[in-house]
Structure 1
Amino acid sequence: MTFTPHGKHLIAGTWTGTEETVLSDPAEGAGHAFSVGTPDLVDRAARAAEEAFWTFGTTSRATRAAFLHAIADEIEARGAQITEIGCAETGLPAARLEGERGRTTGQLRLFAEHILKGDYLDRRHDAALPDRKPLPRPDLRMMQRPIGPVAVFGASNFPLAFSTAGGDTAAALAAGCPVVVKGHGAHPGTSEVVAEAIHAAIVKSAMPSGVFSLVQGGNRAVGQALVQHPLIRAVGFTGSLAGGRALFDLCAARPDPIPFFGELGSVNPMFLLPDAMAARGAAIATGWAGSLTMGAGQFCTNPGIAVVLKGPEAETFAEATRAALSESGAQVMLTDGIAAAYVAGAAQMAAQTGVQDLLTAICDQRQAKPFLYRVAARDWLGNHALGEEVFGPLGLIVVAENAEEMAAVAQSLKGQLTATLHMDAGDTPLARCLLPVLERKAGRVLTNGFPTGVEVCDAMVHGGPYPASTNFGATSVGTLSIRRFLRPVCYQNIPEALLPEDLV
């Protein structure tokens, strides 16, 4: 059955329209009218979230786990609708949407099981020592408690896993925090279906209606109203460096500053060491081309830079990469704006001093084709613009004269989500020199693989030093992400009858 969006906002259990509407711009088919978000809707949603927090924040872990499972169930029940509208809006293939839906429901269920174990509470108890000299010690108990309503900004490139019911929302709900989502304009219909699933789970689970709200679209004033609302206690964001930094600054400028957990961008450099290049440089090139073009390069972990040592192996690698990328056809990008920014970024890259074109293309409107460039490390080190992210299937090969210059490239990097070493056993001494640098630059360091593909599990870190993210001590993927929306509270000499259930 074809899904037709109603185009309304979900505010504390009520589907609400506004006078102003905007027509969506899908990759396929006709657009639909969606009500435009307003600061007033944000205020109503935030107030409802605060009211819901007094109930939801004190629910048992078992109750919240059942709620997370219910959301996953309702999303799965709407799988066909989600795939239909998601493919039409984004241009992503059905297999990608179905896989992302599985990741979304999977992380909801993972968080449910994780909070049932209780380890995330980090409970501690120092028993009273009334006879200690020279001073007695009181009874001290500590545990993590939810912080309150959380704002989440939907991402353009992951309409499910990083949007309405994605990782930020799932983590906040698992922690006991109500959520207000600002839907992304690239996929409002997908957001609507998922919001319907969450609403159905709220009703079935008898949760307070304000535990979740969706405000669709709107101009910058809507996002500003959300991060500056006095009842919002934290913000989760995945998006551009410029947009994220503007919201981060607004959070910091509040009378009561709040944490902004933004994932803003990364070029995810790969360092190809000499023995690995000699043994399998062509195979690495083919793998890089596949990772670079996956999803039209619209992944936050897209490996945009390959650092190699000068020599015949570097030439072989460059040619093998060019050949592999040449076989990649045009792919639809998520929005017209993203496609235009990609073409502009490629043109800016080509105009930089010392940059050599290895593969160029003509991109037709929303269609993207890969670009490949090469530059000497000395030119890369002297031009910070070459280290900026170009969102799309664009690769840059940085050629270092020697190991010392390769290490200098590593030292010069800004914060990254990932960094990769391609190495064989004989490369261990050089890798040993690079690893301490890379672990200071990135949240995840890997060997002999490609960073596209982020496992949702206990050990994953999806974050890194700025500008990869605004809080390098946090992750937006994996069970550790729940800790972003908790704070430690110490209870001193509190009678057991008053203590939270989890602390007794």
Structure 2
Amino acid sequence: MLDSTPLTGKHLIDGTWTEGGASFTSEPVTGEGLVVQSGGAAEIDAAVEAAETAFGQYGWTDRETRARFLEAIADEIEARGAALTTHGTAETGLPEARLEGERGRTTGQLRMFAEHIRKGDYLDIRHDPALPNRTPMPRPDLRLIQRPLGPVAVFGASNFPLAFSTAGGDTAAALAAGCPVVYKGHPGHPVTGELVAQAIAAAIETTGMPTGTFGFVQSNTNEAGEALVKHPLIRAVGFTGSYRGGKALFDIAMARPEPIPFFGELGSINPVFAMPAALAARGAEMGKAWAGSLTMGVGQFCTNPGVVILPEGAEGDAFREAALAALAETGAQPMLTAGTARAYAASVETAAKSARRLTEAGTAPDRSALPAVFEVSGAEWLANPDLAEEMFGPAAILIRTASDAETLEIARAFSGQLTVTLQMDEADTDAVRALMPTLERMAGRVLANGFPTGVEVADAMVHGGPFPASTNFGATSVGSLGIRRFLRPVSFQNIPPALLPDDLQRI
């Protein structure tokens, strides 16, 4: 039986809970902190070496075996549901309903990947049979299949302690592909992370997977993260977090003697285009709904709608006033970490130097945040690129535009985004048609008459976008397409069937 005593504050390395490195004390919103090991390069090296050893077996498991392993992880997470909710709420300040919903999303995407690999379509198998009698030259037998890369590094996200963390989408996709995972825990929720790591360890044992298939290293320093990305046996990285942290790790990945794919989701301001006919029909209703999306989860979503392109005039004013009225009823709420709260306060203070603040500059309690909405003209926005910096929290800027031409100019000025939203009615179709070529190039997901918070886990979802929203515009961190990040095509020429991967032996 694996040594998985609850709340050890230890690392999981090659199937054993071990100490290593210095230590830190967690800072939950409520309750006492836990003394947690803070691993460094030595712990990372041990976990990666174990993952490389495991890959020799795990990378060649059949799809059904891996599917059952993913389902076992989901079962073990559900068995720890009450503890995850209790500790997750205490560590992050997120409400119980949010944690329970996120747990369901986490187990759901594990099961989604199990079903996805059972179908086998993702393998993209291709076979060109040998043509020995072809002239002027014969053709060899060629068989192509997608194969796992090897050990993958995954970084936990601060804002999703379950769905984008220990057993989140990156981990699920990598394990589904056949890649062992070495996970660097997030210091903002180390207890929640350890509980999920215990679930994975239990699934490894019950399904007979190699002990190094999943490694878990706790740390609150940069050393572990840098060592993980630099390690020569790591073949790819999955990251969700800030632009600054992600870009630093991306640069490390590119500077390696052998550069590796770095799949970083670095945030976004997710512009919302409120079109004239829709505003005339339901401007106040749209404004109230937007305020709800802006403040969901204290604005701590990478898809938070942080900019609204709003035409000048009475209809746009109705949107603004309804939004402000709704926001006035929203009190201060705790943020995920004290550092997040400080960064949010600083970004709001910076925006106030260049834009008119529409909400009261109230004082929030320590580690909490209040909504902040600003307004600028289209010309002011275009003249000040700094206004496009993400404010991670319940803050946004309304851009008041004077014409369709100015709206298009603003659309063209946006950098890469995760999402772009259209609030439109049928009468806006022609105006939107003029915007669509720009919007499609801007974002990984274009949506109408909704808001971007809430990312469906599905086959057709893309959660990614052009830089700086993510470091690889051709990838997604949500949905079944995410498995492709951790695979590469391999062509086998005239290889005896007994030496081929199992799926190629069947054609």
Q: TM bucket by the smaller chain?
A: over 0.9
- Cα deviations by residue, 1:237-284 (Å, 9 ceiling, x for unpaired): 000000000000000000000000000010000000000000001011
Given residue 163 of structure 1, which amino acid in structure 2 is its aligned partner?
Answer: S
Distance (Å, rounded) in 2 between the aligned partners of 1:44 and 1:113: 32
Match in the other structure for 2:145: 143
Match in the other structure for 1:362: 363
Query: How does 1:76-91 map onto structure 2 within 5 Å?
Result: 76-91=78-93
Match in the other structure for 1:162: 164
1:329 Cα deviation from its structure 2 partner = 1.5
Structure 2 residue runs without a partner (length 5+): none
1:19 Cα deviation from its structure 2 partner = 5.5
Is 1:37 aligned with 2:77?
no
Match in the other structure for 1:47: 49
**Matched pairs, number:** 501
Distance (Å, rounded) in 2 between the aligned partners of 1:436 and 1:48: 48
Q: Which of 304, 329, 332 is the equivalent residue of 2:331?
A: 329
- Give 3-state SS (helix, strand or coil) of 1:262's partner: strand
Q: Which of 217, 222, 225 is the equivalent residue of 1:223?
A: 225
Distance (Å, rounded) in 2 between the aligned partners of 1:457 and 1:278: 34
- Cα deviations by residue, 1:398-423 (Å, 9 ceiling, x for unpaired): 01110010011110001000000110
CA RMSD of aligned residues (A): 1.0
Distance (Å, rounded) in 2 between the aligned partners of 1:405 and 1:59: 56
1:101 Cα deviation from its structure 2 partner = 0.3
Q: Which of 128, 131, 142 is the equivalent residue of 1:129?
A: 131
Match in the other structure for 2:376: 375
- Give 3-state SS (helix, strand or coil) of 1:455's partner: coil
Distance (Å, rounded) in 2 between the aligned partners of 1:288 and 1:180: 38
Is 1:422 aligned with 2:423?
yes
Match in the other structure for 2:492: 491
- Cα deviations by residue, 1:458-484 (Å, 9 ceiling, x for unpaired): 000000000100000000000000000
Q: Which of 271, 289, 297 is the equivalent residue of 1:295?
A: 297
Given residue 438 of structure 2, which amino acid in structure 1 is its aligned partner?
Answer: V
1:499 Cα deviation from its structure 2 partner = 1.5
Distance (Å, rounded) in 1 between the aligned partners of 2:199 and 2:45: 23
Match in the other structure for 1:450: 451
Distance (Å, rounded) in 1 between the aligned partners of 2:219 and 2:440: 37
- Give 3-state SS (helix, strand or coil) of 2:498's partner: coil
- Give 3-state SS (helix, strand or coil) of 1:458's partner: coil
1:495 Cα deviation from its structure 2 partner = 1.9
Distance (Å, rounded) in 1 between the aligned partners of 2:132 and 2:149: 33
Distance (Å, rounded) in 2 between the aligned partners of 1:118 and 1:355: 54
Distance (Å, rounded) in 1 between the aligned partners of 2:43 and 2:220: 10
Given residue 410 of structure 2, which amino acid in structure 1 is its aligned partner?
Answer: V
Q: Which of 15-24 and 170-179 deviates more?
A: 15-24
Match in the other structure for 1:96: 98
Match in the other structure for 1:58: 60
- Give 3-state SS (helix, strand or coil) of 2:358's partner: strand
Q: Which of 124-133 and 476-485 deviates more?
A: 124-133
Segments ≥4 residues shifted beyond 6 Å: none
Query: How does 1:265-414 map onto structure 2 within 5 Å?
Result: 265-352=267-354, 354-414=355-415
Distance (Å, rounded) in 2 between the aligned partners of 1:445 and 1:361: 34
Is 1:264 aligned with 2:271?
no
Distance (Å, rounded) in 2 between the aligned partners of 1:139 and 1:253: 38
Distance (Å, rounded) in 1 between the aligned partners of 2:233 and 2:33: 35
What is the TM-score when the length of structure 1 is the normalising length? 0.98
Given residue 131 of structure 2, which amino acid in structure 1 is its aligned partner?
Answer: L
Distance (Å, rounded) in 2 between the aligned partners of 1:36 and 1:420: 41
Contact 2:419 2:444 in 1 (8 A): yes
Contact 1:329 1:369 in 2 (8 A): yes
1:143 Cα deviation from its structure 2 partner = 0.6
What is the TM-score when the length of structure 2 is the normalising length? 0.98
- Give 3-state SS (helix, strand or coil) of 2:415's partner: coil
1:12 Cα deviation from its structure 2 partner = 1.1
Match in the other structure for 1:183: 185
Match in the other structure for 2:248: 246
Match in the other structure for 1:201: 203
Over the matched positions of the two proteins, sequence identity in percent amounts to: 62
- Give 3-state SS (helix, strand or coil) of 1:301's partner: coil
1:131 Cα deviation from its structure 2 partner = 2.4
Query: How does 1:111-130 map onto structure 2 within 5 Å?
Result: 111-130=113-132
1:355 Cα deviation from its structure 2 partner = 3.3
Distance (Å, rounded) in 2 between the aligned partners of 1:389 and 1:359: 20
Given residue 214 of structure 2, which amino acid in structure 1 is its aligned partner?
Answer: F
- Cα deviations by residue, 1:134-157 (Å, 9 ceiling, x for unpaired): 222211110100000000000000
Given residue 429 of structure 2, which amino acid in structure 1 is its aligned partner?
Answer: T
1:360 Cα deviation from its structure 2 partner = 3.2
Distance (Å, rounded) in 1 between the aligned partners of 2:43 and 2:147: 28
Distance (Å, rounded) in 2 between the aligned partners of 1:355 and 1:232: 47
Distance (Å, rounded) in 1 between the aligned partners of 2:101 and 2:9: 26
- Give 3-state SS (helix, strand or coil) of 1:25's partner: coil
Given residue 239 of structure 1, which amino acid in structure 2 is its aligned partner?
Answer: G
Given residue 406 of structure 2, which amino acid in structure 1 is its aligned partner?
Answer: E
Given residue 366 of structure 1, which amino acid in structure 2 is its aligned partner?
Answer: R
Q: Which of 222, 231, 234 is the equivalent residue of 2:236?
A: 234
Contact 2:21 2:39 in 1 (8 A): no
Given residue 288 of structure 1, which amino acid in structure 2 is its aligned partner?
Answer: W
Distance (Å, rounded) in 2 between the aligned partners of 1:19 and 1:411: 48
1:494 Cα deviation from its structure 2 partner = 1.4
Q: Which of 294-303 and 487-496 deviates more?
A: 487-496
Is 1:434 aligned with 2:431?
no
- Cα deviations by residue, 1:75-107 (Å, 9 ceiling, x for unpaired): 000001101110100000000000000000000
Given residue 305 of structure 1, which amino acid in structure 2 is its aligned partner?
Answer: V
